[in-house]
A and B are shown apart, each in its own frame.
Chain A
Amino acid sequence: MTVAPQAQPAPEKGLARIAGHVAAISGEVDRLLGMPMGTAEDGDRLSQVMAEMQGMSKLLADTRAEIVHLSPPPTGLGDTLDAVVDETEQAAMEIMKQAERAQAASGRLTSGASTDTKADLAEVDDAATCILMACAFQDITGQRIRKVLSAMRSVEERIATLVALMGIRQEDLPQDAGGAPAGSDAALLNGPSSSAEGGLGQNAVDDLFN
């Protein structure tokens, strides 16, 4: 069994521990399989037990292999998403700054307070160009998010394989795992919802509200 270093993140440590247990059980089964056979009378029962133990051993070996593959990928997915949050915030700030610059210049032009019409028009134009350039964040963040999605899909597939391997059925899963109690304020913190998820548009909200 490989002992996970202290500094490793919790999920990885947990996986390593489970993999270790599986390996230990697997070793124990192998040891039992290697023990000398009993008398001839016990032969039938023993061979049946042995067949069952071999099945168990194989299952444990397969499970262990799947768990080993579940270890988090080397590049931190959380860091990638943190970068997306930072980049979108920076882009939003830049776009707002430039939009406000354009609004100020256009305000001077509209109100007649402009002392240099040509310069103010150029300012509006320049701000619009800066807004266009700031929108390049979408390309970068899009690539980062796709990278995370592909890693998540691969983990999802491996978990599905593991669940199938262990014969876990839907009805074995605990009900209401970890969710906030229904009817509490915390249960109302759903975040953005698409219309498919039951999210309402402004008109539907107004109908409910007024």
Chain B
Amino acid sequence: MLATPASEGDRGVKILVVDDYPTMRRIVRNLLDQIGFKDVEEAGNGAEAFEKIKVSRYDMVISDWNMEPMTGLELLKHVRADAALSKTPFIMVTAESKTENVIAAKQAGASQYIVKPFTAETLKAKIASVVG
């Protein structure tokens, strides 16, 4: 269990976790729960995520990259292109770890970039840096 008290993270923050692997969604959800984020929803790809984002407002998106039919990078571009959503913090969590990937995500407007496999501490630190 992480050292952070359960009350620290949650400030009514609603998070969308996007990954095509249910195991990864469950890992991220568990870590978020431990650091106090209880309001978490899931989507299995970029297209499903974007449908949810359009209907319901999220305070943060944590997304994988390599998914079909819509990738995390495309989802990020859609979110940044939509005036109502463009400020949403967006953390990319991906196995794509080449320099060109990191640069492309940064240029597309990702708030943070986490390489899989990651530690609980890394996820916590990156969330803290985008939630402030």
Q: Which residues of A contact B (CB under 8 A)?
A: 89, 92-93, 96, 99-100, 103, 106-107, 110, 185, 188-193, 197-202, 205-206, 208-209
Contact = CB atoms under 8 A, between A and B. Distances in A.
Interface of B: 1, 21-23, 26-27, 30, 34, 65-66, 71, 73-74, 95-104, 106, 110, 112-116, 118, 122
Contacts of B104: 185, 188
A103 B73 contact: no
B106 A200 contact: no
B122 A202 contact: yes
Given A199-B115, A200-B97, 13 more contacts: A93-B23, A96-B26, A96-B30, A103-B34, A188-B100, A188-B101, A190-B96, A190-B98, A190-B101, A191-B66, A193-B96, A202-B115, A209-B106
B71 A202 contact: no
A197 B100 CA distance: 13
Contacts of A189: 65-66, 71, 96
B20 to A, nearest CB: 12
A17 B118 CA distance: 49
Given A93-B23, A106-B1, A189-B66, A208 B102 contact: yes
B95 A208 contact: no
Name which of B30, B34, B74, B113 has the most chain A CB atoms within 10 A of its CB. B113
Contact of B102 (A89, A93, A192, A209): A209
A94 to B, nearest CB: 11
A192 B97 contact: yes
A192 B98 CA distance: 9
A202 B118 contact: yes
24 contacts: A89-B22, A89-B23, A96-B26, A99-B30, A100-B30, A103-B1, A185-B71, A185-B104, A188-B104, A189-B71, A189-B96, A190-B98, A191-B96, A193-B96, A193-B98, A198-B99, A200-B98, A200-B115, A202-B115, A205-B114, A206-B113, A208-B99, A208-B103, A209-B106
A151 to B, nearest CB: 26
A185 B74 contact: yes
Nearest to A110: B1
Nearest to A89: B23
Nearest to B73: A185
B120 to A, nearest CB: 12
Nearest to B68: A189
Contacts of A201: 97, 115
B82 to A, nearest CB: 18
B17 to A, nearest CB: 14
A58 B19 CA distance: 55
Contacts of A193: 96-98
A135 B106 CA distance: 37
A209 B30 contact: no
A208 B110 CA distance: 13
A2 B99 CA distance: 51
A119 to B, nearest CB: 19
Contacts of A209: 102, 106, 110, 112-113
